[in-house]
Structure 1
């Protein structure tokens, strides 16, 4: 069971909001209104771990190990929202999200193939680690710079935990599951490592998840400012092609290790995906695309 191992490893490095955040270093002269507004948007976005957890528990009812791990992931993700809200409460109280604003991002996600969702969230954690590192660089106020660095490290650990469950699917759950997993991981990997080719940011909170609510069925569509994410990425933290390349390289590196292959480019991974499709009877070769 991976849950007990992951619990111990994450418990050993868990940070304390009261003592590990340098609240005393706050410098009001270095926090702009523009920066403070983005902190609010990220606090609300992090709150969406709540519906994501409900989705994971529903779609993984036959996997108690992974479902138990959700207790750790959910706690730490909600803590990210909480520390950002605490920052606003202390230093920009007029921007503290209302309970209504937080609750708006809690809506039902349609059922989805668990292995594809697992890979999607692995990639999402990799991307979020890089987003928060850039956010820390962009901010000028010392406390929020430190907070973004702390939660970026959490996101990297979460990606590592998801990767452990992905490896388990390939090695411990039988040949049929392993084949399904390889196809699912390759499919989503091609999608999520190709963000530079898409008009929108590729992250689970920015993808359509409920056909009945389309087009207002992304977490970002429920935000007080639905277009904030693209502005934050393009014009504020400047998450450019160089940084997208780092995300893609990280995804491809981990896929290479996981699949015991070598993927230097997205095209390499896509060729691998197509080979899997041809070898699997009854499957359709559909190129992944953003919903």
Structure 2
């Protein structure tokens, strides 16, 4: 079981809102209206850890270890929303999200394969780490710069915890689970490392998750300003090709750790994904009467 160890390690590095945020260093002259608006949008986006946790618990009923870890992940993600709202409460109270705005991003996600969802959120944590690092550089007000640095470090640790659970599914749960996991991790890894080829940011909060609510079934579509994310990335924090390359490098590096082989490019990872798919197909075709029609 990983939960006790992960709880202890994350507890040891946990920051505290009252003692680890330099609130008295706030400089109003260095916070623009545009910057303050982005803080509000991020506060609401982070609140969507609530429906994500409900999804994880529903779809991982057979995995009590991972479900227990959700208690830590959910607490820390909700604290991200809370610290951003506390910043606004202190310094821009006119922009504090309303309860209705927060509740609007709580909606049901359709059931999905648990391994694919795990990999999707692992990549999402890597991407958030880089987005928030860039946001810390873009902001000019010292307190919010510090806050974004802290939460970016949390996201990196969360990615590390997800990676531990991904490894566990490859090594500790039998051949059938391992095969499902390998194919899911490779498939979603290729998708999430290919953001430069898509017209939108590839992150769990920007993907469609409820067919009945389409097209208003992404977290971003339910924000007060649904167009905010692309503007924040492209024209504000300037998350350019250099930063996107950093994300892809981290995904490929961690795929190498998972599969004990190196991937120099998304194309190499995609070839590996196809090898896995062919292997599954060969097993099915060799099964005689047991193979599906």
Q: Does 1:71 align with 2:33?
A: no
Question: Once the two structures are superposed, what CA deviation does each residue of 1:177-196 show, in whole Å capped at 9, x if it has no partner?
Answer: 11111100000000000111
Task: Report what 1:47 is aligned to.
Answer: 47
Bigger shift: residues 121-130 or 273-282: 273-282
| Alpha-carbon distance between aligned partners in 1 of 2:17 and 2:281, rounded to the nearest angstrom | 52
What is the CA-CA distance between 1:281 and the residue it aligns to?
2.7
Unpaired runs of 5+ in structure 2?
A: 285-293
Map of 2:288 onto structure 1: none
Q: TM-score, normalised by structure 1?
A: 0.97
How far apart in 2 are the matches of 1:129 and 1:35? 19
Q: Distance in 1 between matches of 2:160 and 2:283?
A: 30
Distance 1:283 1:237, change over 3 A: farther
Shift of the alpha carbon at 1:262?
A: 1.2
* Structure 1 runs, 4 residues or longer, greater than 4 Å off: none
What are the residue-to-residue correspondences of 1:254-269 with 2, within 5 Å?
254-269=254-269
Match of 1:226 in 2: 226
Name the structure 1 match of 2:131: 131
CA RMSD of aligned residues (A): 1.0
SS at match of 1:281: helix
Q: Whole-Å Cα distance in 2 between the matches of residues 92 and 105 of structure 1?
A: 22
Normalised by the size of structure 2, how large is the TM-score? 0.96
Partner in structure 1 of residue 165 of structure 2: 165
- Higher CA-based Rg: 2
- Equivalent runs, 1:34-183 vs 2, <5 Å: 34-183=34-183
For the pair 1:235 / 2:241, whether they are aligned, the reply is no
Secondary structure of the corresponding residue to residue 281 of structure 2: coil
CA distance in 1, matches of 2:67, 2:186: 23
In the alignment, structure 1 residue 251 sits paired with structure 2 residue 251: yes
Contact residue 277 and residue 283 of structure 1 kept, 8 A = no
Residues 99-120 of structure 1 show CA distances to partners (whole Å, capped at 9, x for unaligned) of 0000000000000000000000
The number of residue pairs the alignment matches comes to 284
